Amino acid sequence: MLLGTGLLAHAQTPSHLTISGYVRDAASGESLPGVTVRHPASGLGTATNTYGFYSLTLPAAGLDSVRLVASSVGYAGQRWAAPATARLEHVFRLRPATNELAGVEVLGAQVSDEQGPTSTRMGTISVPIAQIKSLPKLMGETDVLKVLQLLPGVQSGNEGTSGLYVRGGSPDQNLILLDGTPVYNASHLFGFFSVFNADALRNVELIKGGFPARYGGRLSSVLDISLKEGNMQEFHGEGAISLVASRLTLEGPIKKDVASFIVSGRRTYLDVLAQPFIKWQLGHQNRAGSLGYYFYDLNGKLNWKVGHRDRLYLSAYRGYDNFYANLRDEPENPNDYSRSNNALGWGNLTGSLRWNHTFGDKLFLNTHFTYSQYQFDVGASQERRYPDNGQVVSSASALRYLSNIRDWTLKTDFDYVPAPNHYVRFGVQLIRHTFLPGAFTQQDNAGGVANATGTGSRTLATESAAYVEDDYRLSNRLKVNAGLRLSSFYVNNRLYPSLEPRLAARYFLTPDWALKASYARNAQFIHLLTNSGIGLPTDLWVPATATVRPQVAQQFSLGAARTLHRGGEDFEFSVEAYYKPLQNLVEYREGANFVNTTDSDWESQVTSGRGWAYGAELFIQKKTGRTTGWLGYTLAWSNRQFAELNQGRVFPYKYDRRHDISLVVIHHFSPTLTLSGTFVYGTGNAVTLTSGRYQTAPYEVYSDFGDRNSFRMAAYHRLDLDLSKTKKKRWGEVVNSLSIYNAYSRQNPYYLYFVQADIDPNNKVVRSPPGYRQVSLFPIIPSVSKAFKF
């Protein structure tokens, strides 16, 4: 009812006028999302959408002219005035702001967040790319996901990993979008690096709660990442060289002001550098071959302005990890040798085609056709030749394991601005899923006899959704975003419908203090079967079935936000409390054999249960001046309960972390010298340990395990530092960076293992007493990197 209230009453009449258009970067022509466009005389305003489009309808009574102001963090504000007519169009072109403070130039080095008092949205933060690049780096590599882990409500898993655990949820409950296309595995090297090349990115937005109706399919968060569109004015490039990888990004106009491109690539090269040492080592063993590991990322995008009201985008991404070991003997007898080839690879492939169209000055269309694939592939083959009774006998075998998920998606979204107090969004979505949880093939050839076996079949499923939401300003103090999403999932003749209401409200107590509240219900129709906590790529994506129901979560949030201006500097403060019950969660049963799990038997090895997460988050941010940064604190609980696990008793989630603190500071000594630091502290992870060990036979030792996740590792804390020096060149600039990861070399726990004492015949302990020992991963790690722009 609220969605329809006032739409007819406030429909366009001659007493109103509408101004619409776009906001773009003056230098590159890039669309600028989230820019505020205001009419100061009336107090009315709006914000640009993802593609930089805005539409603002004003009462025409008494207006002889229109004066608008466009403003955004990191850009100089711009004013525009024109005579009042029934329909106006204007394109704002903003230039980066230069904030002079004691000779220091600050260019967008602050967090722009939509948790501010003016928005109804809660738990939403947008981090500028310049901010991400200025923070400390692990081994010299800028990492988007590691920066997001510094925000309240977002936790990392184990040491150094890029996984996101948002408000008590698991990584599979995060919807990660790259140019609107889902990315199923967002990390390289078992989670130590993310797949996103910061040089190619335009915008990074994280939503932790109060989800708008236009997003669905996941329970915990939405990470919406946009690629750059490509400079429409002139050719530019940038890149970097670090200890482990190099990257290069090129962009420029295909036809000025009409079409542009951007291409970006990154690759590690440790395998190349290590190859001479590996060959030397193999040579001492009378063997030859190669072994190593590398990953790469490739991004590309075309942007074509077809006409005044139409624009096309074509983008693609390919990322891949590859472990390989190809070895062979170097025997004196050519008929007596063995040869083996082993490979372990996984990666994402995405593509999207988008069409933007404006119908008049009030209606904006975005139609999106995408493809996404994640695949894990392991293969091993062996060949053996040897003499036997005067004959040469040969044998060969090959084994391959494959797991993947593929999506084809068609989505259409509309932005409609019918009246000054309404911003309506609606749309539909259709997804065709293909699941292959696990497929084995095996081939053997011995003595000229060949055998082949195989398992695995694909499961097809269809997911659909329709939604509508309205951002409705009821008064100058009260603003409400009400929405409804209807989704469904059809698999193996089983239909799962889901009705998902969304509601968020903001109420001004004073001009700079606001109270906020939100409610959202979400359904997730896919599950991730995880065999450990370190993000191994062998985790399996599986659909809801007749016996494994979709995951469902509700989230209730309440908070307050304030902006503060003191001495020409801007501060923002927010506090939020949340409660999130979860249903139909999936875990492996005790003793399940996940190594041999395939599409035919995974359902028999899992059990379903429930969970709940609740807590409070504090966020204090300094946005301007010589020193910027933020302080985040999270107090949280996350529990699980499964009838077939832990004897049905409630237990903490493995990443239940009571206290989580993050401090981020960036200080500009001069326009060319910047020091940044981050400090994190977190309660230790919950793990399951043995409560006792006993021996029933001379060589048989058994363990009794205590309650699930009842033991806490030591607390985690770490300090990272980065010093960057910029040098201007005739052709551009060079940035030299020195980063120190874990500056005071804290030995943080990665995992624990049990050591059993050695007893001599006199029953004396020969070795140290039995007990648990801690394994730590990273000591202090200094690194250097060189970035450049031209």
Which range scores top for mean pLDDT: 84-93, 265-274, 385-394? Answer: 265-274
- The residues, any chain, with a CB within 8 Å of residue 699's CB and separated by 6 or more, are none
- 453-457, 633-637, 785-789: lowest mean pLDDT where? 453-457
112-789 shares the fold of 16-97: no
Give the pLDDT score at 588: 86
- 247-251, 531-535, 736-740: lowest mean pLDDT where? 531-535
> How many CB atoms are closer than 10 A to CB 436?
21
Confidence grade of residue 195 (pLDDT, cut at 50, 70, 90): very high
Give the pLDDT score at 102: 39
**Which spans in 416-465 are helix H?**
none
CA–CA separation, 248 and 790 (whole Å): 11
Which carries the bigger pLDDT value, residue 113 or residue 330?
A: 330
CA–CA separation, 124 and 405 (whole Å): 29
How many angstroms separate the first and last alpha carbons of the chain? Answer: 55
DSSP class per residue in 467-536: EEEEEEE-SSSEEEEEEEEEEEEEETTEEEEEEEEEEEEEEEEETTEEEEEEEEEEEE-EEEE-SSSS--
- Averaged pLDDT for residues 190-206: 90
Confirm if 126 and 113 have CB atoms less than 8 A apart: yes
- The residues, any chain, with a CB within 8 Å of residue 406's CB and separated by 6 or more, are 371, 372, 373, 433, 434
Give the pLDDT score at 508: 92
Which carries the bigger pLDDT value, residue 379 or residue 765?
A: 379
Give the C-alpha distances (Å, rounded to integers) separating 165 from 70, 168, 460.
Answer: 36, 6, 29
Residue 17 token pair: 């006028």
- 129-133, 353-357, 650-654: lowest mean pLDDT where? 129-133
**Which 3 state secondary structure label does DSSP give 135?**
coil
Burial code of 253-267, b = ≥16 C-beta within 10 A, e = fewer? beeeeebbbbbbbbb
pLDDT tens digits, residue range 605-640? 889 999 999 999 999 999 888 899 999 999 999 999
> How many CB atoms are closer than 10 A to CB 758?
11
Give the pLDDT score at 615: 96
Percentage of residues in the chain having pLDDT higher than 70: 87
Matching CATH number, 16-97, of 3.40.630.10, 2.40.50.140, 2.60.40.1120, 3.20.190.10: 2.60.40.1120
pLDDT at 453 over 90: no
Across-strand partners of 787? 240, 735
Confirm if 49 and 56 have CB atoms less than 8 A apart: no
Confidence grade of residue 103 (pLDDT, cut at 50, 70, 90): very low
Confidence grade of residue 720 (pLDDT, cut at 50, 70, 90): very high
CA–CA separation, 34 and 500 (whole Å): 26
CA–CA separation, 235 and 527 (whole Å): 44
User: Hey, what amino acid is at 723?
Assistant: L
CA–CA separation, 396 and 398 (whole Å): 7
CA–CA separation, 527 and 533 (whole Å): 15
pLDDT tens digits, residue range 154-185? 988 777 676 789 999 998 999 999 999 999 99
- The residues, any chain, with a CB within 8 Å of residue 352's CB and separated by 6 or more, are 179, 180, 181, 313, 314, 315, 316, 368, 369, 370, 371
Chain position carrying tokens 């006409």: 307
CA–CA separation, 267 and 405 (whole Å): 24
Which range scores top for mean pLDDT: 263-272, 412-421, 518-527? Answer: 518-527
pLDDT at 101 over 50: no
pLDDT tens digits, residue range 395-409? 888 888 888 999 999
Q: What is the average pLDDT score of the chain?
A: 85
* H or E stretch covering 165: strand 165-166
DSSP class per residue in 442-453: EEEEETTEEEEE
Give the pLDDT score at 717: 93
pLDDT at 392 over 80: no
Return the sign of the alpha-carbon dihedral for residues 584, 146, 224, 505: positive
* Closest-CA residue to 537 (of 773, 319, 683, 734): 319
pLDDT at 197 over 90: yes
- Averaged pLDDT for residues 217-246: 94
Confirm if 347 and 319 have CB atoms less than 8 A apart: yes
Which carries the bigger pLDDT value, residue 771 or residue 549?
A: 549
Give the pLDDT score at 693: 59
Give the pLDDT score at 17: 84
Which carries the bigger pLDDT value, residue 75 or residue 289?
A: 75
Percentage of residues in the chain having pLDDT higher than 90: 51
Return the sign of the alpha-carbon dihedral for residues 118, 124, 128, 133: positive
Confidence grade of residue 535 (pLDDT, cut at 50, 70, 90): very low
Which carries the bigger pLDDT value, residue 764 or residue 607?
A: 607
Give the pLDDT score at 760: 56
Give the pLDDT score at 10: 45
Q: Domain spanning 112-789 has what CATH number?
A: 2.40.170.20
**Which 3 state secondary structure label does DSSP give 283?**
helix
Burial code of 80-102, b = ≥16 C-beta within 10 A, e = fewer? beeeeeeebebebebeebebeee
Give the pLDDT score at 758: 60
pLDDT at 13 over 60: no
Return the sign of the alpha-carbon dihedral for residues 144, 146, 149, 150: negative
Burial of 593 per CB tally in 10 Å (0-12, 13-18, 19+): exposed
pLDDT at 113 over 50: no
Give the pLDDT score at 275: 81
C-alpha angle 359/312/46, rounded to 5°? 50
CA–CA separation, 213 and 3 (whole Å): 12
Q: What is the largest CA-CA distance in the chain?
A: 107
Give the pLDDT score at 766: 57
- Averaged pLDDT for residues 419-447: 87
CA gyration radius, the chain:
29
Confidence grade of residue 131 (pLDDT, cut at 50, 70, 90): confident
- The residues, any chain, with a CB within 8 Å of residue 706's CB and separated by 6 or more, are 688, 689, 690, 691
CA–CA separation, 248 and 241 (whole Å): 9
pLDDT at 114 over 70: no
**Which spans in 508-665 are helix H?**
none
pLDDT at 602 over 90: no
The residue extents of the domains of the chain are 16-97, 112-789
